[in-house]
Amino acid sequence: GAAVKGKSKDLKQARKNQEEIKKAAEAQEPRPAIFNVRWLKDDKVTRDGRVKKAVRVSADVTDIADGETITFSIERKNPLTEELEKIEIEATVEEGKAVGEWEINDQTESNHE
C-alpha cells in the first residue's frame, strides 16, 4: 500500500498532462486529408448499346465536409497509343468517404448487337 500511496501524486500529474495534450490537439486547425485510396471491384454496364467497364476509385477523408468535391488524378498508359494520359475522376464526399466512377469501353467484350 505504501508504494502505491507515494505514486498517486505522479499519477495525478500524468492525468493532468494528458488532459492538456488532448485539449491542445483538439484546438489545432483541421487538416484535410485523403488516404486509403483504392480501386473497387469492376462492374460492367451497358450504355448506348455498348458494353462499358465502370471502374470506381474510393478514398477515406478527414476534415473535408460532406458535399465537397475531390478530384482523383490518375496517369495511365493508353493501350492503343502507348502514350501516358491523365484521367481525372470527380467524387463527392459523403460520411468520410469519396467514391468516383470512370467508364471505359470494354475491349474484352464483343460490342455487337
Domain boundaries, the chain: 33-105
**Residues 7-45 pLDDT 10s:** 778 888 888 888 888 777 667 778 899 999 998 877 666
CA–CA gap between residue 65 and residue 86 (Å, rounded): 26
**pLDDT exceeds 60 at position 76:** yes
State the pTM of this model: 0.59
pLDDT confidence of residue 15: 85
pLDDT confidence of residue 12: 85
pLDDT confidence of residue 90: 96
pLDDT confidence of residue 107: 55
Contact 56, 37 (CB under 8 A): no
Sign of CA dihedral 57, 63, 69, 72: negative
